[in-house]
Chain A
Amino acid sequence: MNPEQKFNALRQQLDSLDTTAMQTRIEARLRLAWAQQHSAQSTPMDTTSKSSWRWLSYTLAGTSLAGLAFITTLATQPAVETPTKLSAEQTMDDFIAANKDEKSNSAGLSVQEFDLKTDDYSGTEYTGDDWEHDTQLDGATINPSYTYTANKDEKQLFDESVQLEIDVKGELLDVIHNLRNQVETLNGYLINISYYDTAGTIDIQLPADQLQTFEDQLATVDATHQVEVLSYNVANVSEEVAIIDAEITAKQKEIDQAKTDLTAANLTATERQALQDKISAGESYIQTQQTTKEETIAEYSLVDVRVTIHPYQSWTSGNYYQYDRSTFTGSVQYELGRAMYTLIHGTGKLARFLVWLAVYSVVLIPLFIGLRWFIRKLIRFFKQL
């Protein structure tokens, strides 16, 4: 028999085959399946057909993508720069007026009133231990950044200044106001605030041991939690105090000599008066020098800090220059940032919207499809268990 004849014979056998029992069994199972399916469809979730749900999900996904693209288009709208110095000044006035009732702590050291402890310094002879005492400045306790003891080799006094820069999100004025409060908390002094449209600077003096704390606080304010140190200068100025010390010592010797001379019996009244005047003048001079010394030490125990505050600019705002192009990752970030900047600043709203829509579609749709496939696989796996 050739194949066709074989198939014909097979067909005849199939025609004669009684499949009634099989059909009956299948029919019984189908009735059950029908009942199950239609009882499931009677629940509120399944009243809509599968096709409708599919279209609903497509519509929702499409709307979400369009919404996402729309929001991104608005969010990445290039900012219009307005040179409104006048309004900025007005805002600063408001800022100052709003804070006028607060305790003023903004005087610099040049006009700062000192309230030194009389027990420590007035009229008493200098001892090495006295330099270790806390100096009371305008009610604030300062812990000096120097060590100055009787041993000459350990006399160290530093003049420190540092320039810091931070990028912040939100209103600059609010940030400046917060920084001002922090400076007061750290027993520092506000010297000057300059604010203009695109940046602000705040000059302060801080106890040296509080500098690190202040930097940490600045880092929390910074948008990237990184404080940029623009400059840091340290100069050893111990010599200034050493010179004053030498002058005091020399003057003390002169006073001692005058006091010794005063004990001589053959002095005339005029000579005695001259010696007493010399002693008084010498003591007055020592007192003045000691005060100067305390002021000098107090001044150098504070660090001059200038904080420059800029509004934070993301890479979409053109700040893609921050990336290091010498590395592969940095180059990719740089090129991406440049492309996005060009897109945002070089095209119209509709074009930006369409590009964002395309970007989200290309990225999110395969992601969702993959996720759906994975979930289905997972469900199938657990069902098989």
Chain B
Amino acid sequence: MTVYTELSSHHIEQAKTDQAAFIELYRHYSQRVLRFLIARTGNLQLAEDLAQETFVTVLTKLPDYQVTGAKFSSWLLQIALNCARMHWRKQSNTPPTDLDTISELWGNQPDQHTAWMDFFLAIKQLSEEDQTLLTLKYVEDYSNQDIAELLKISPNHCGVKLHRALQRLQTYL
């Protein structure tokens, strides 16, 4: 299991003006953003496009970013989530997943393709908030506290919502 760390505030401040520091920041967080977006979209190409859009937005907004003690990754994922939302708003007919992504992820298990396709379809049946909650919790391994901070809800409410989202997903599977 991959363990992610946060960059120091000094490094983030440096990334505002220094290209090398910014690229280092990108390298540090890019895999995390990509993972989140792949899990969230079920589409490798779309995830790459959204990840690029996310970091271009970060490049623009970074000079205004104030280090407040909150995780930088939370701010980053919030931007990624917004980019994904913007994409779905413009193109609401995006397919829930594509076969290339399935075969890329489970190329060595062809018998599992249908099952994973069903899984992604079931996730797409959930509300946008439920999908985000489950992705953050079970793919990004975020704590309820972090998710609550990211989604601007209370931690207790977050736990309740997660529980209900899981139940709903179960019904679709």
Contacts and interface: CB of A to CB of B under 8 A. Distances in A.
A263 interface: no
Interface string A38-53: 1000000000011100
Given A4-B166, A29-B52, A50-B64, A23 B31 contact: yes
Nearest to A22: B48
Contacts of A3: 134, 138, 166, 169-170, 173
A34 to B, nearest CB: 5
Nearest to A17: B105
Contacts of A13: 105-106
Contacts of B39: 10, 14
A30 B26 contact: yes
Interface string B1-41: 11000000000000000010011001100110011001100
Contacts of A23: 27, 30-31, 34
Contact of B48 (A8, A25, A31, A37): A25
A17 B104 contact: yes
A11 B134 CA distance: 12
B2 A15 contact: yes
Q: Which of A13, A15, A26 has the most CB of B within 10 A?
A: A26
Given A7-B138, A10-B39, A11-B139, A33 B48 contact: no
Interface stretch (B53-61, B76-84, B142-150): B53-61
B72 interface: no
A19 interface: yes
The majority secondary structure among interface residues of chain B is helix
Given A14-B38, A23-B34, A31-B19, A4 B138 contact: yes
A26 B19 CA distance: 15
Interface residues of B, number: 37
A50 B119 CA distance: 44
A138 B117 CA distance: 111
Contacts of B55: 26, 30
Given A6-B119, A49-B63, A30 B56 contact: yes
B173 A14 contact: no
B154 to A, nearest CB: 23
Interface string A333-361: 00000000000000000000000000000
A27 interface: yes
Nearest to A32: B56
B52 A19 contact: no
Nearest to B140: A11
Nearest to B23: A27
B141 interface: yes
Q: Is the interface of A mostly helix, strand, loop or mixed?
A: helix
Given A13-B105, A29-B52, A50 B138 contact: no
A2 interface: yes
B59 A26 contact: no
Contacts of B134: 3, 7
A51 B64 contact: yes
Interface string A297-322: 00000000000000000000000000
B30 A50 contact: no
Contacts of A2: 170
A33 B23 CA distance: 12
A22 B59 contact: no
Given A3-B170, A23-B30, A51-B64, A37 B59 contact: yes
Interface of B: 1-2, 19, 22-23, 26-27, 30-31, 34-35, 38-39, 44, 47-48, 51-52, 55-56, 59-60, 63-64, 104-106, 116, 119, 134, 138-139, 141, 166, 169-170, 173
30 contacts: A3-B173, A7-B139, A10-B139, A11-B139, A11-B141, A13-B105, A14-B35, A14-B38, A14-B139, A15-B1, A15-B2, A15-B35, A17-B104, A19-B30, A19-B34, A19-B35, A23-B27, A23-B31, A26-B51, A26-B52, A27-B23, A27-B27, A30-B26, A30-B52, A33-B56, A34-B19, A37-B59, A49-B64, A50-B64, A51-B63
Given A15-B35, A19-B35, A30-B59, 15 more contacts: A3-B173, A4-B138, A11-B138, A11-B139, A14-B105, A14-B139, A15-B2, A17-B105, A22-B44, A22-B51, A23-B27, A34-B22, A34-B59, A37-B60, A51-B64
Return the 4 tightest CB-CB contacts between A and B, nearest first.
A7-B138, A3-B169, A26-B52, A13-B105
Interface of A: 2-4, 6-8, 10-11, 13-15, 17, 19, 22-23, 25-27, 29-31, 33-34, 37-38, 49-51
